[in-house]
Chain A
Amino acid sequence: MKFFTILGVTFYVVIISLIGILAILFSAHILPVQDVNILLEQLYNDGSSRLIIGLVSALLILLGFSFAQLILGKMQKERTIAFNSPTGRVTVALSAVEDLIRRMCSSIPEVKELRPYVIAGKRGIEIDLKVILRSEINIPELTTRLQDLVKNRLQDLLGVDEQIIVRIHIAKIVSTEEKDKKGKKEFEKTPTIPFSGF
């Protein structure tokens, strides 16, 4: 861990712990409210104290952003497919692969919604597809088509030789009839002008 990271983590822990201790003392009535009022008033009126509080707050905001980046960066590092080329390393974020699958499947009219989740492991690339389908379709035929499409297109676009496993989980089937009925009902419900016949 880098020196500044350790320093930042220590600072953050100290500040958060102090706030926590103060809150506990306050809730246990150990810290009298009058003293808190006096302290706050003093801090509010004193120029240098206000400056220090402002600077510490700005530092805390910056630290918050840095930690977010650190954590998200690590998460991103873990979720990538990587391969080497003569001029360097190429990493593809798994979220990009998920984007790719989403766009691939948007062309299939029978699929209403699709949520992909990609895992890259020792077994190869594992893809979990959570789908919402429209009714009046042949599920085995469609799922096979979907699996083939995802496998073939990914192999073409990513150029990976590893095994691609596509698992499909049908979460819901949306009836098209229900939609039509709803549409009809809505049509029937459309307000008419009273006594318009007279």
Chain B
Amino acid sequence: MIKEESLSGFDSVKINSRAIASIAYLAATEIEGVKSTAKDYRYILLEILGAKNQTGIRVKFDKNNDVKIKISLIVKYGYSIPDVATKVQENVYKALEKMAGINVKDIDINVRGVER
């Protein structure tokens, strides 16, 4: 199951992992060369069961409350995969820092396919 973990970024503000995933999703998909995020069967199953906003992005918190994000991507054909991946990492990092005040420890990108 997908854990719903929260991070205390400020005195009394808790940010849900879904919100972090949504910010990361928006930041990732606005990069040119990204076709979409790739979803595994769990997210598809959850969507069938009626769950909304399944982005296919995994957010994990370790013991020190550091955030780790795993993004699976489908890249558009013709774009350099390392360039797109690096741009996505940078944009997600900036967006999370700006919108949620979170310093992400790792942003792992997994390119799962290439489409036109």
Contact = CB atoms under 8 A, between A and B. Distances in A.
A89 B72 CA distance: 12
Secondary structure at chain B's binding surface: helix, strand, loop or mixed?
mixed
A159 B83 contact: yes
Which of B75, B106, B114, B115 has most A Cβ within 10 Å? B114
Interface stretch (A18-26, A93-101, A127-135, A137-145): A93-101
Contact of B116 (A69, A93, A95, A103): A103
A157 B79 CA distance: 6
Contacts of A117: none
B109 A90 contact: yes
B90 A100 contact: no
Contacts, number: 76
B108 A89 contact: yes
A85 B81 contact: no
A174 interface: no
Contacts of B111: 90-93, 96
Interface string B40-69: 111001000000000000000000000001
A156 interface: yes
Contact of A96 (B78, B79, B90, B114): B114
B89 to A, nearest CB: 4
Interface residues of A, number: 22
Contact of A99 (B85, B106, B114): B114
Which of A68, A88, A157 has most B Cβ within 10 Å? A88
B108 to A, nearest CB: 5
Contacts of B86: 85, 87, 90
A65 interface: yes
Contacts of A96: 75, 81, 111-114
B42 A157 contact: no
A93 B42 CA distance: 19
Nearest to A97: B114
A69 B82 contact: no
A83 interface: yes
Contacts of A85: 82, 85-86, 89
Interface residues on B, range: 20 to 34
A91 B107 contact: no
B109 A89 contact: yes
Contacts of B116: 103
A68 B42 CA distance: 11
Contact of B82 (A83, A93, A95): A83
Contacts of B85: 85, 90
Given A87-B106, A88-B106, A100 B114 contact: yes
Given A69-B42, A87-B93, A159-B83, A103 B106 contact: no
B68 to A, nearest CB: 8
A41 to B, nearest CB: 34
A14 interface: no
Kindly list the 5 A-B residue pairs having the minimum CB-CB distance in the complex, ordered from nearest.
A159-B82, A87-B89, A88-B107, A90-B85, A99-B114
